[in-house]
Amino acid sequence: MEDLSLHILDIAENSINAGATLIDIVIREQKTQDMLTLEIRDNGTGMDDATVVSTRNPFYTTRTTRRIGLGLPLLEEATRAADGMLEIVSRTGAGTDIRATFRLSHIDRKPLGDMAATIVMLVAGNPDINFTYRHEHESETFTFSTKEIRLKYPGLDFNSPETLSFIRDYIREYTASFS
């Protein structure tokens, strides 16, 4: 994975496969603590303790089409390269919370990448799922929520080119000044 936005896309795909209807993505940049945190929370099926442990093993996957699963091991590798760590909190029936931390200024910390493209992919591929993207950058906070949009515009077609390009431009505009 070239950048963190691709890792986020990948981890969110796990949430979708776990039957989540609500996926929260939080990015927190804390300059004073020199820390970058990514958090992906979902309300999917969750995992028991034994499964949580095995997700860190690249030779574990729930898929039947192949025998290895690299999503979380790759993210863990990326955190370790930048003095960070990966936390996985999950309970059967209670969703999953993935938290990845990085030292913000670490030379090996992957760049954040194109979050607007990641959110557009997620919404386009899964127009019925509610996504929230919150980005805390120093004192500013940007929030984008398809749930709020859905409440305001019931019946809006999220999978239409107009809506998707609006979402892309909207996120780009507000996060342009972020890292």
Partner 1 sequence: MPKLKIEDLDKIAVQQQRKMNVREGAGRAKITVHMGTCGIAAGARTIMTAFLQEIETNNVTDVIVTTSACAGLCSREPMATVELVGQAPVKYVDLTDEKARKIFKEHIVAGKFVQAYALSIGSERIQ
Residue of 32, 65, 107, 139 that binds partner 1 (CB under 8 A): 65
Q: What is the smallest separation between the CB atom of 70 and partner 1, expressed in angstroms?
A: 5
Cβ contact 93:46 at 8 Å: yes
Q: What is the smallest separation between the CB atom of 150 and partner 1, expressed in angstroms?
A: 11
Task: Indicate if the alpha-carbon torsion angle 57, 54, 98, 173 is positive or negative.
Answer: positive
Cβ contact 112:3 at 8 Å: yes
64 makes contact with partner 1 (CB under 8 A): yes
Residue of 45, 87, 174, 178 that binds partner 1 (CB under 8 A): 174
148 makes contact with partner 1 (CB under 8 A): yes
Amino acid at 102: F
Residues contacting partner 1: total by CB under 8 A: 41
Report the phi/psi class of residue 19: left, alpha or beta, with left for phi > 0 and alpha for psi in -120 to 50.
left
Residues 80-119 close enough to bind partner 1 by CB under 8 A: 114, 117-118
Q: Are strands 140-145 and 96-103 parallel, antiparallel or unpaired?
A: unpaired
126 makes contact with partner 1 (CB under 8 A): yes
125 makes contact with partner 1 (CB under 8 A): yes
Q: What is the smallest separation between the CB atom of 82 and partner 1, expressed in angstroms?
A: 18
Q: What is the smallest separation between the CB atom of 97 and partner 1, expressed in angstroms?
A: 20
Q: How many CB atoms sit inside 10 A of residue 58's CB?
A: 15
77 makes contact with partner 1 (CB under 8 A): no
Strand, coil or helix: 173: helix
Helices (H) and strands (E) in the chain, counts: 6, 6
What Rg do the C-alpha atoms of the chain give, in angstroms? 16
Chain residues in the site for partner 1 (CB under 8 A): 1, 6, 9-10, 13, 17, 63-66, 69-71, 74, 114, 117-118, 120-121, 124-126, 148-149, 152-153, 155-157, 159-166, 169-170, 173-174
